[in-house]
Amino acid sequence: MPREEHFGKALYTFDIGQNDLTQSLFRNQTLEEVNATVPDIINQFMDKIEKIYSLGGRSFWVYNTRPIGCFPSILTGFPSAIKDSTGCAKQYNELAENYNAELKKGLAKLRNQFPLAAIVYVDIYSALYLLYVNPAEYGFKKPLVACCGYGSGEYNYNSAATCGQTVDVNGKKVVVGSCKDPSVRVNWDGTHFTEAANMFLFDRVSNGDFSDPPIPLKMACHKSNHIARI
């Protein structure tokens, strides 16, 4: 266990929102109903950051949520959704974009409220969306298809036969397993990204190019006057 004085020097990272949105959708809530919950999700999130600040935390690295409309689970579960040019479900990505806009506003308010805090908003949505716009440019294939999945549909996803489960295929028990080469695939199991996609993401966000303010990860724990004024 770190000593108490170390907690004020730590970097607190947050990755919240995806499950709140997708689980509500799979509980048959409409897009309008889920959108209506976003302010409450953000307010609860901001309360948690305030609490950590009150306990001595000063450096915060906050991810926005991912393009959920590109998930095989969403594309399979809501087949009538309007698709954008990448094949992603447009209105479900718009839900994620609305969440991200509200998150960014909430963090801006916290910066004003706590000028001694270093609060960085990290736009992983935009970084990951690159893999759907032009996957081949980055060495990826089939970004909308689950690598570890089972199903007759175009997205290789079935909520009743997910990665690692045992299914009956022509009278034989088969474990749902990985595709041949996960290193060139974007989606792992319908909801999560592959290790290769996560490495791509880290390489893009760690230098600060997708951050607001544009602080690289290696500087996120080093408070400066520049960060405090933003």
List the chain pLDDT tens, one digit each, 230 residues: 778 888 888 999 999 999 999 999 999 999 999 999 999 999 999 999 999 999 999 999 999 999 999 999 999 999 999 999 999 999 999 999 999 999 999 999 999 999 999 999 999 999 999 999 999 999 999 999 999 999 879 999 999 999 999 988 888 898 999 999 999 999 999 999 999 999 999 999 999 999 999 999 999 876 554 443 33
The pLDDT value given to residue 225:
44
Amino acid identity of residue 58, one-letter, is R
Where do the DSSP E strands lie in the chain? 11-15, 59-63, 118-122, 166-169, 172-175, 211-212
Closest by CA position to 142, among listed 157, 151, 132, 152: 132
pLDDT of residue 159: 94
| Joined tokens for residue 212 | 């607001």
Q: What does the pLDDT read at residue 230? A: 36
pLDDT score of 136: 98
- Measured CA to CA, the distance from residue 176 to residue 87 in angstroms comes to 25
Q: What pLDDT was estimated at residue 97?
A: 99
Q: Check residue 7 and give its pLDDT.
A: 87
**pLDDT at res. 21:** 98
| Entry pTM | 0.92
Task: Tell me the pLDDT tens digit for each residue of 15-58.
Answer: 999 999 999 999 999 999 999 999 999 999 999 999 999 999 99
Tell me how far the alpha carbon of residue 89 is from its chain's centroid: 16
